[in-house]
Amino acid sequence: MKLMKLAATSLLCTSLMVGSAFAAAIEKPECIAPAKPGGGFDLTCRVAMLGLKDQLPSLMQVTFMPGGIGAVAINMFNSTRTDDPNAIVAFSSGSLLNIATGKYGQWTENDVRWLASAGADFGAVIVKGDSKFKTLDDLMNQLKTAENSVVIGAGGSVGSQDWMKAALLVKSVEKDPKKMRYVAYDGGGDAIAGLLGGSIEAYMGDVGEMASHLDGSMKILAVMSPERLPAPFDQFPTTKELGYDAEWTIMRGYYMGKNVSDEAYNAWVDAFKAAYATEEFATIQKEKGLMKLNMAGAEFDADVKKRVERMRGIAKEAGLIK
């Protein structure tokens, strides 16, 4: 309701400038998940959809814009929908990695407006419930004998953050990531099917997506977080405490087009800030396997830019960029 008022006020103020008069109103909120359904972007959008239920005039629609690991969305929001006040786009640190490695072509972290965070997630090393690898050490000892002795799979292409997780793991035992046997699936769902079906032996997934899979069919060998996570994930050791320097934090959040009016941007920021304050939002984050990481507006924008800079360093180290 507040938003409606806000929209109405700004509408009055700018009623002469017809073009932007409606930019302020979030009429048909839409969250774009730049992937096929079921993956992390989907999850990110669901958090916004459920979390902002009471802050927006109508229920947010989730649309999918698959392919190109998010490149299509960022391109669209830099070409045709640069000022769309209704749409927010889900991104993750994987998207930031793509920016850092130049995957998005000319678009950099300065070409969109970073809006707000949905929460944080962490990488996880996952095997099938009855795998011969009982602990992370088993897996790493095997990898030490030869990089290509374990078939590792994940939902992203070479150079994606899923690949990075595997690469960091291989690197932590002084082995060459370029030599590992890595199978790229089209999204986490297909990769999980591959793991359960025995096509791949280890899956570099995310903690969050495992929330609905804790039934024993799959086992998390380690989580790639800096410290132990809250329940129900507190039982899993971190890579760090097991002695492997492979940490991967996945930040999830949303961006908007570069030319979105300040009214619309601020309306969204306010909506997120209002949602962060509710108990409900925390519950949703928890349900979706996300850890609390609430930031919106200018503060968030600065944080994201800092992260991209850091990733450029990591990518250089891994040999992804020269």
Partner 1 sequence: MADRIFGCIALAIALGYGFIAFTIIEAPFQYDPLGPETWPQILSVFACLCCLYIIVLPDGTRLKVLGSTLMRIAILLILLSAYAYLFEPIGFILSTTLFCLVLSRILGATALQAVVFGVASGTFGYLLCAVILDLNLPEGFILKLLRGLS
Partner 2 sequence: MNEVLAGLYTGFGVALAPMNLLYVIVGCFSGTLIGALPGIGPINGVAILLPIAYSLGLPPESALILLAGIYYGAEYGGRISSILLNVPGDAGAVFTTLDGNPMAKNGEAGRALSLSAVASFVGGTFAVILMSLFGPMLASVAIHFNPSDYVALMVFAFTCLASLVGKNPVKTLLAALMGLMIASIGIDANTGVARFTFGVPDILAGIDFLVIVIGLFGMGELITLVEHQITGKLKVLPVGKSFVSLKDLAVVKWVVFRCSMLGFFIGVLPGTGASVASAVAYGTEKRIAGKSGENFGKGDIRGLAAPEAANNASAGGAMVPMLTLGIPGSGTTAILLGALLLFNITPGPLMFQQRPEIAWGLIASMYIGNLALLVINLPLVGFFARLLTIPQKYLTPLIAVLAFIGVYSVVSNPFDLYMIIGLGLFGWLLKKMGFSLAPVILGVVLGNLFEDNLRRALSISGGDWKVLVESSSSIIIYVLTVLILFVPPLYGRIKKSRMEKKTAE
76 binds partner 2 (CB under 8 A): yes
- Judged by CB under 8 A, the chain residues 116 through 175 that form the site for partner 2 are 148, 151, 157-160
Phi, psi for 72 (deg, rounded to 5): -65, -45
Which C-beta is closer to partner 1: that of 47 or that of 170?
Answer: 170
69 binds partner 2 (CB under 8 A): yes
CA 125 vs. chain centroid, Å, equals 17
Contact of residue 141 among partner 2, partner 1, none (CB under 5-8 Å per partner type): none
Cα–Cα distance for residue pair 149/44, rounded to 1 Å = 34
59 binds partner 2 (CB under 8 A): yes
Which C-beta is closer to partner 1: that of 58 or that of 212?
Answer: 58
Distances (CA, A) of 322 to 98, 159, 210: 14, 13, 35
Among 123-131, 174-182, 188-196, 232-240, the segment contacting partner 1 (CB under 8 A): 174-182
- Judged by CB under 8 A, the chain residues 15 through 54 that form the site for partner 1 are 15, 18-19, 21-22, 28
- Judged by CB under 8 A, the chain residues 184 through 223 that form the site for partner 1 are 184
First to last CA, the chain: 51
CB 154, CB 162: distance < 8 Å: yes
102 binds partner 2 (CB under 8 A): no
Which C-beta is closer to partner 2: that of 38 or that of 237?
Answer: 38
Joined together, the tokens standing for residue 105 give 């072509």
| 3-class secondary structure per residue, 216-260 | CCEEEEEECCCCCCCCCCCCCCECCCCCCCCCCEEEEEEEECCCC
Q: How many CB atoms lie within 10 A of CB 104?
A: 22
The residues that touch partner 2, with contacts defined as CB under 8 A, are: 36-38, 42, 46, 49-50, 58-69, 71-72, 75-76, 78-81, 103, 105, 148, 151, 157-160, 181-186, 189-190, 192-194, 196-200, 211-213, 215, 217, 287
